Structure 1
Amino acid sequence: MRSDNYYLRAFWGISLSLAAVKIIFTLRPEIDLFTEEAQYWLWSQNMAWHYYSKPPLVAVLNYLSTGLLGNTELGVRINAILAGVGISWVTYLFASHLYGAKAGFWAGLVAQAMPVWWLASTFHMTDSSLTFFWILAVHLVYRGIEEKKQNWWLWAGVATAFGLMAKMVMLLIFPSVLIYLLFIRGFKVQQKNFAVFVAVSLLGFVPALIWNWENNFDTFKHLATLGGAGDGESKPVDLGNSLKWFFEYWSGQLAIVSPFLLPIWFLCFRDIFKTKTGSSVYLILPGILAFSAFAALSLMKRVEVNWPVFAYTGFAVVLGGWIAGQSEIWTRFTKVAIILSIGIPVLFLLPDVTYLKSFAPIKKGEQKALSRLSGHVELAQRLEFLMDSLTLENEFYFSDSYHTASELSFYLPRNPQTYVMNMGSRKNQFDLWEDMSQFVNTEKVGVFVSMNHETMQERAAFERLIYEETFVPFYEGLPIRKVKIQIWENLKSYQPFVPDTY
């Protein structure tokens, strides 16, 4: 029988190797920041209590990490990579506490084998820190329930407060814990501890309340719109769309837990529903609640498949315990499934050391998958070349898309503040910042960059057009997208679309 130290060493060996793979991927010169990552980085250059659509933690982490590593891809993504290691480590600790070190090892691997956690631990999104603080809080609450000590509940409240500063959906932990306490008939005993937990947790709401009080409660209106409210006149339910959205959501959930692991997921859940042991119910309850809530929402609107995934961490813990108790046949099956689940993304993330990506279909598939992660450096370099060759200076950059504007700010020299000219989209963070009207009649050069429009549609009027072109960046010799570049002189008037939707 292998010792606990063996499983601990194996866990850390694999986890640190996978972290190294993600660092290598980040350092690949043809891979740029994902557009949402660039947006969150730009938030960190404009620090605030809160932002239009998200709490401040993602910006705070970017501010700290880029302060150490500079405004680089690694400076941004190191947050996600460390969060991924942290998620796996807490998963290991939780499963080891419940079922032993062998179960902890398998739980940690299951967490790292799920495709969606590859995304959250490679690209710095709000889900990165949310998922870490979620599993940490769930673990600490369980220890508090088990040992009936208020210190565990207090620290769980701290973890939950940080989770709320990552994403407000962290609130789901409250009904999850409450339902479990009622299930085990432990609420009366833990009533005071639960109250302490909630009180400390809600401190994480303070930044949101401060900012929203000063900004017309825009975040709450935005979240209401995402939840299907606030869209104006009510519309009749379209059964066809409802079924389409629901099955998209359902199939997406099967994919994000890894198709290779589906048989053991099924057998594990079958055994849980038969036995209904306390720890197993506690671990799967948040995931079931999150899945059900977003499944119901998917009948009214399209739901992103990643929305409930933060709550699936408990699934990895309970599955690790189940795997540890299985026969050699199922253990071998699990090894193969996890090797495939981890190995395929590793081949995808690493440079083409195997030359498999030289085959045209694979190369084109990778280019399509990475299209939003490439071409931004080339675009910034082209803009810099144009400004130098035209001997222009004192310019400002603007786009019709906050995605493009954010990428430009990150990759242009000296990281200038960029601007978004709203052409008809819903409100975003750029609508709350100082806009281009400050440049009217200032004789400055305006550089318009768009992947969606050929003209500014009379939203802005300049004195004269200096230069324009359509630029096409490439990925491994394949064209990525067409980008319209226009360089204008002296903004005369500015009338952007003013969104009334959230």
Structure 2
Amino acid sequence: MAGIAACAILTLYRIVLFYFDRTDLFVDESQYWLWSQDLDFGYYSKPPLIAWTIRLFTDLSQSDSIFWVRLPVPLFHFATALILGSLAQYLYDARVSCWVMISYITMPAVTLGSAVISTDTIMAPFFSLALLFYFRLLNEDKARYALLAGAMAGVAFLAKYAGIYFVICAVLAAVFISKARPSWRNGLLVLVTFAVVITPNIIWNYLNDLTTFEHTLDNADWVRRNTSDIDLRYLKLAEFFFSQFGVFGPILFGSLIASVYKAREADARILLFFSVPIILIVCVQALLSKAYANWAAAAYFAGTVVVVAGLLQERFYRLLRLSVWIGVVIALGLPFLTAIADHVSIDGEKPALKRLLGRERLSQELIAAAKEHNADIILAGGRDILADLFYTGRDADVVIRSIPPRGRAWNYYQAKFPLDENTPGQTVLWVAGRPTVECDGKIIEPVRELTTEGGAYHGGAMFVFMMDRECFDG
């Protein structure tokens, strides 16, 4: 009960601080909100569950405010903590369960993931449920657990394609550990159920020119290159690897590495197979191209359970308490920081959370300029600007469009909202990063310079131009 109470208190604290949050939606968050306005089985770069979740919460509240867009995240992490606690209780005991819940809810990645809505957060409870049901299947060999494990893994996949790691890790564990091998019937049942659940998204991709598959290849760009053109990027690998000490926590990630050598029990080794291979896969991606710190987030569901159990078994109580206290300081500090985001700076010039500031202000300036100059269309090329324009301008009577792509679309806005012959209106308000533009040999001066200081566009320059849409023909 102590673990549940601690998780509930911290979750409530995060929700209350949302009322005082001064940050804007990040680019991805605004895009997910826009997706939620048109429910489908897939989207340009992600599977559909995050859009469905946002739509559920905004419809229930009858509000599209930032509070309701982000509200799912602390609740989903709270649910994940309870599920992992149940898994720890099933495999170990109540003491491990308590510490697993507290360690998870205070994990640095969870603290950050409770401030902005992301696909990692939406995937978390379903991936964790898949783990819980899979261990029940391995120990009890009942078909219902095979169905549940496969279904939850499938839903995790519909939240983020990293859900496929569950299947990969289950296969690897079965190859190397006899206890990790369910009966052939139940193992096949897991795979079939998983396939059935993800089928709508697979069909959507097929009907939409494999859009998401192409985007995934863009991220793993080494796949498209010739072998002779691939350079090994050791600095990128080191950057990703050491970032995991910040994602999982310095003590927990260090302990996870030690667990690879120390784990002897079959359950601990199986848990490691649901964690370490994910990190290694993303390490390879970082070595060949690039990898963001959160790309291995799926490793830390099983990772939390095996690390906490190991620390308690080895009686490293002080180390575990220190890990939790480090997490608590971050968990209490970040939500408070978002409430005073305008006033906190590291260098005395730029806000510490500048990536989450200034976006709404810029969009409001653009919308005001469009109305002032009677523009029919606001045109932009940058995904960042377009993302917030659609959210902030959701009730503004103005058409928002992207510069058309040359060839294949490189973002959602180029794919769905290009300026083309079907776009209504004649007068275009164009936002660009240069002080003059040209149309038919004529130099056009800006009608306004936008405010970029103190936010996401700090240090840059942006200008607004009034132009006839014929300037963009062809």
Q: With structure 2 as the length reference, what TM-score do the two structures score?
A: 0.88
Alignment counterpart, residue 132 of structure 1, candidates 101, 115, 125: 125
Is contact 1:470-1:482 (8 Å) kept? no
Task: Please give the secondary structure, in 2, of the residue aligned with 1:437.
Answer: coil
Alignment counterpart, residue 462 of structure 2, candidates 447, 464, 484: 484
Give the CA deviation at 1:99. 1.4
Is contact 2:47-2:159 (8 Å) kept? yes
Give the CA deviation at 1:352. 8.7
Task: Please give the secondary structure, in 1, of the residue aligned with 2:295.
Answer: coil
Q: What stretches of structure 2 of length at least 5 have no aligned partner? A: none
Q: What CA distance in whole angstroms lies between the structure 1 residues aligned with 2:169 and 2:107?
A: 23
Report the number of matched residues. Answer: 471
CA gap of 1:461–1:294, structure 2 versus 1, over 3 A, is farther
Task: Please give the secondary structure, in 2, of the residue aligned with 1:303.
Answer: coil
Does 2:225 match 1:243? no
Task: Please give the secondary structure, in 1, of the residue aligned with 2:123.
Answer: helix
Counterparts of residues 143-292 of structure 1 (less than 5 Å) = 143-185=136-178, 190-229=183-222, 231=224, 235-239=228-232, 242-261=233-252, 264-265=255-256, 268-272=259-263, 275=264, 277-292=265-280
CA gap of 1:21–1:32, structure 2 versus 1, over 3 A, is farther
Task: Please give the secondary structure, in 2, of the residue aligned with 1:165.
Answer: helix
Does 2:291 match 1:303? yes
Q: What CA distance in whole angstroms lies between the structure 2 residues aligned with 1:46 and 1:261?
A: 40
What do residues 211-240 of structure 1 show as CA deviations (whole Å, max 9, x unaligned)?
A: 22222222223223323355355553435x
Q: What stretches of structure 1 of length at least 5 have no aligned partner? A: 1-7, 497-502
Q: What CA distance in whole angstroms lies between the structure 2 residues aligned with 1:108 and 1:194?
A: 29
User: 2:201 is aligned with what amino acid?
Assistant: A
Task: Please give the secondary structure, in 2, of the residue aligned with 1:435.
Answer: coil
Is contact 1:52-1:219 (8 Å) kept? yes
Task: Please give the secondary structure, in 1, of the residue aligned with 2:430.
Answer: strand
Give the CA deviation at 1:295. 1.5
Q: What CA distance in whole angstroms lies between the structure 2 residues aligned with 1:280 and 1:24?
A: 37
Q: What CA distance in whole angstroms lies between the structure 2 residues aligned with 1:133 and 1:456?
A: 50
Aligned to 2:48: 56
CA gap of 1:351–1:243, structure 2 versus 1, over 3 A, is closer
CA gap of 1:237–1:216, structure 2 versus 1, over 3 A, is closer
CA gap of 1:251–1:431, structure 2 versus 1, over 3 A, is same
Task: Please give the secondary structure, in 2, of the residue aligned with 1:492.
Answer: helix
Counterparts of residues 59-458 of structure 1 (less than 5 Å) = 59-69=51-61, 70-185=63-178, 190-229=183-222, 231=224, 235-239=228-232, 242-261=233-252, 264-265=255-256, 268-272=259-263, 275=264, 277-327=265-315, 330-351=316-337, 361=346, 367-368=351-352, 370-387=353-370, 390=372, 392-393=373-374, 395-412=376-393, 414=395, 418-421=400-403, 427-438=410-421, 443-450=425-432, 452-454=433-435
CA gap of 1:96–1:417, structure 2 versus 1, over 3 A, is farther
Q: What CA distance in whole angstroms lies between the structure 1 residues aligned with 2:201 and 2:137?
A: 28
What do residues 153-184 of structure 1 show as CA deviations (whole Å, max 9, x unaligned)?
A: 11111111111111222122123212323434
Q: Percent identity?
A: 19
Give the CA deviation at 1:479. 8.7
Give the CA deviation at 1:36. 0.8
Task: Please give the secondary structure, in 2, of the residue aligned with 1:283.
Answer: helix
Q: What CA distance in whole angstroms lies between the structure 2 residues aligned with 1:363 and 1:338?
A: 31
What do residues 233-291 of structure 1 show as CA deviations (whole Å, max 9, x unaligned)?
A: 5553435xx2112111211122222124455445544431xx2x111011111211111
Aligned to 1:22: 14
Is contact 2:251-2:319 (8 Å) kept? no
Aligned to 1:11: 3
Q: What CA distance in whole angstroms lies between the structure 1 residues aligned with 2:196 and 2:218?
A: 25
CA gap of 1:215–1:45, structure 2 versus 1, over 3 A, is same
Q: What CA distance in whole angstroms lies between the structure 2 residues aligned with 1:386 and 1:394?
A: 8
Task: Please give the secondary structure, in 1, of the residue aligned with 2:449.
Answer: strand
Q: What CA distance in whole angstroms lies between the structure 2 residues aligned with 1:125 and 1:286?
A: 21
Q: With structure 1 as the length reference, what TM-score do the two structures score?
A: 0.84
Is contact 1:400-1:421 (8 Å) kept? yes
Task: Please give the secondary structure, in 2, of the residue aligned with 1:313.
Answer: helix
Q: What CA distance in whole angstroms lies between the structure 1 residues aligned with 2:27 and 2:365?
A: 19
Task: Please give the secondary structure, in 2, of the residue aligned with 1:436.
Answer: coil
Task: Please give the secondary structure, in 2, of the residue aligned with 1:449.
Answer: strand
Is contact 1:461-1:492 (8 Å) kept? no
CA gap of 1:439–1:28, structure 2 versus 1, over 3 A, is farther
Q: What CA distance in whole angstroms lies between the structure 1 residues aligned with 2:438 and 2:335?
A: 40
Give the CA deviation at 1:95. 0.7
Q: What CA distance in whole angstroms lies between the structure 1 residues aligned with 2:214 and 2:86?
A: 39
CA gap of 1:196–1:124, structure 2 versus 1, over 3 A, is same
Q: What CA distance in whole angstroms lies between the structure 2 residues aligned with 1:483 and 1:144?
A: 58
What do residues 460-491 of structure 1 show as CA deviations (whole Å, max 9, x unaligned)?
A: 9999878222323536xx99354524252541
Is contact 1:28-1:351 (8 Å) kept? no
Give the CA deviation at 1:436. 1.4
Task: Please give the secondary structure, in 2, of the residue aligned with 1:19.
Answer: helix
